[in-house]
Amino acid sequence: MSMDAISVIRTKRDRGRLADEQIDWIIDAYTRGEVADEQMSALAMAILLNGMDRAEIARWTAAMIKSGERMDFSALPLPTADKHSTGGVGDKITLPLAPLVAACGAAVPQLSGRGLGHTGGTLDKLESIPGWRALLSNDEMMDVLRNVGSVICAAGDGLAPADKKLYALRDVTGTVEAIPLIASSIMSKKIAEGTGSLVLDVKVGSGAFMKNLEDARELASTMVGLGTDHGVKTVALLTDMSTPLGLTAGNALEVRESVEVLAGGGPADVVELTLALAREMLDAAGVKDADPAKALADGSAMDHWRRMIIAQGGDPDAVLPVAREQHVVKAASTGVLTKLDAYAVGVSAWRLGAGRARKEDPVQAGAGIEMHAKPGDSVVAGQPLMTLHTDTPEKFDYALAALDGGVEIAAEGTAFEPNPIVLGRIA
């Protein structure tokens, strides 16, 4: 059938349904360079405005998977389980989670990404460990999985190349928020990755792409449906991102906190979410009678962490980078901290150098924010609320400006109940 980009754009612009042949052609032609960026930009905006039905999204996802290779973990002696987070502030959960699930008997092939804007990236965090490598060949990845049980690395260029092109385009054309494109982007990579089961951590709140529960539920349901349609057992948890996770936002800072969790300590919210996701992953993989809480307490999760870091060239005993300059933010009054906005903290950490505005930008390993109180805590005027870290102190004013309106302290005795970490589950 003869196809052209303008006809495909007009179909969706006019609220029509894209035929399977149109979807297959436009994804293939864009990957090969036959369809120009401006044409795909127009189609992405039409999809943002007019949506797609479930069959369209499934076909779009399948076409992106078909644009590249598919990985196969069937030769592994263990069932595989993976986790994907839609991104947030202080979201270091992958770091303790992957070795924890491996310690409980499932293999975890965790393909992760880098941060962009106010959301942190798993690979950026791990690269603050001296020697650690994100880029592994498929053979190296399989070796680490066989020998350790978990691996966290970058996706290869051959995995869903259509998504790589389209994601970069969406980022600069205001179409990142389109639910059909978010869902197909995430699921094309995860399905092509070849995992047997998948648990999705769909963030909700100011620091997430999905600001309200209704949109997050729609995204989660769409992704669970896509996974199911492609034979991957998929479950989603809706989790709070109105407040940063844990007490750190930054790269080396979050690695330190993750190691605390693996040592049996760490902030209660990070431990709670890590265990909740671990239980979902083990259940989806069919691993019974494993207790992830016990694996944290007895040191087996920590053993797997150390082996995983060493297998990827890192030194788990190395001293992590520390920023050269610090600035303390103090409580303006005495009372109850009722707001510590995730987006404000994320943007502030980004401005300090912990994140990037463009994919090619460098990040500072030691930059970020330590939080000394969380919503619900009582505070006294003048006590430290946050410590800002950076190698470039001229950025302090810019980072402090991002925190304006992001912190609220109510009068002493004010009743305050923080949001639960897990807001819902979709299977």
Task: State how beta strands 248-250 and 233-240 pair.
Answer: unpaired
DSSP class of residue 408 equals: E
Q: How far is CA 18 from CA 37, 119, 186, in A?
A: 19, 33, 21
Query: What residue ranges in 50-204 does DSSP mark as E strands?
Result: 81-85, 108-112, 150-154, 197-204
| Closest by Cα among 395, 316, 386 to 353 | 395
d(CA 109, CA 195): 7
283: tokens are 């259940």
Q: Which domains does the chain have, with CATH numbers?
A: 5-51 (1.20.970.10), 81-157+167-311 (3.40.1030.10), 325-410 (3.90.1170.30)
- Mean pLDDT computed over 235-254: 98
Q: How many Cβ atoms sit within 10 Å of the Cβ of residue 288?
A: 8
Least confident piece of the model among 135-139, 153-157, 224-228, 413-417: 153-157
Pairing of strands 108-112, 150-154: parallel
* Rounded-to-integer distance, Cα 181 and Cα 194, Å: 20
Which residue's entry shows tokens 């303390």?
328
DSSP structure string for 208-267: SS--SHHHHHHHHHHHHHHHHHTT-EEEEEEEE-SS-STTEEEHHHHHHHHHHHHTT-S-
The one-letter amino acid code at 82 reads: D
Q: Is the pLDDT of residue 116 over 80?
A: no
CB 16 within 8 A of CB 56: no
pLDDT at 120 over 90: no
Q: Region 137-143: what's the mean pLDDT?
A: 94
Q: Which residue has the tokens 């007019």?
A: 50
| The residue type at 62 | A
Q: In this prediction, what percent of the chain has a pLDDT beyond 70?
A: 100
Per-residue pLDDT, averaged over 102-119, amounts to: 90
Residue whose tokens read 């060949």: 137
Average confidence (pLDDT) over 215-234: 94
Per-residue model confidence (pLDDT) at position 404: 97
DSSP-assigned beta bridge partners for residue 107: 80
Find where tokens 């941060």 sit: 115
pLDDT of 172 reads 82
Give the list of residues 6+ apart from residue 3 with CB closer than 8 angstroms, or none. Answer: 21, 22, 25, 26, 29
Residue 114 has pLDDT above 90, yes or no: no
C-alpha 45: how far from chain center: 24
Closest to 103 in 3D by CA, of 294, 309, 313: 294
Token pair of 407 as six digits: 């912190």
Q: Tell me which amino acid residue 334 is.
A: T
The pLDDT value given to residue 1: 59
How many whole angstroms separate alpha carbon 281 and alpha carbon 140? 23
Within its chain, how far is the Cα of 20 from the centroid? 30
What tokens does 375 get? 């919503």
The average confidence (pLDDT) of the chain is: 95
Nearest Cα residue to 273 out of 86, 126, 97: 97
Tell me the per-residue pLDDT of 367-407, one tens digit each, with 9 for 90 and over: 999 999 999 999 999 999 999 999 999 999 999 999 999 99
pLDDT at 113 over 90: no
For the residues 110-139, what does the mean pLDDT come to? 91
Q: Write the CB contacts of 254 (distance below 8 Å, at least 6 apart in sequence).
A: 90, 92, 95, 120, 125, 246, 248, 368
pTM of the model as a whole: 0.93
Three-state DSSP at 42 gives helix
- Mean pLDDT for 49-78 is 94
- Residue 145 tokens read as 């999985």
Catalytic residues: 84, 163, 170, 185, 189
What is the arrangement of strands in the sheet containing 81-85, beginning at the earlier edge strand? 81-85, 197-204, 233-240, 422-426
Contacts of 257 (CB under 8 A, 6+ apart): 92, 246, 247, 248, 266, 267, 270
CA 409 to chain centre: 30
> Does residue 358 carry a pLDDT above 80?
no
Cα–Cα dist 380/419, whole Å:
23
Chain segment 278-337, per-residue pLDDT in tens: 999 999 999 999 999 999 999 999 999 999 999 999 999 999 999 999 999 999 999 999
409 within 8 A of 338, measured Cβ to Cβ: yes
* HSE (side-chain half, CA atoms, 13 Å) at 267: 23
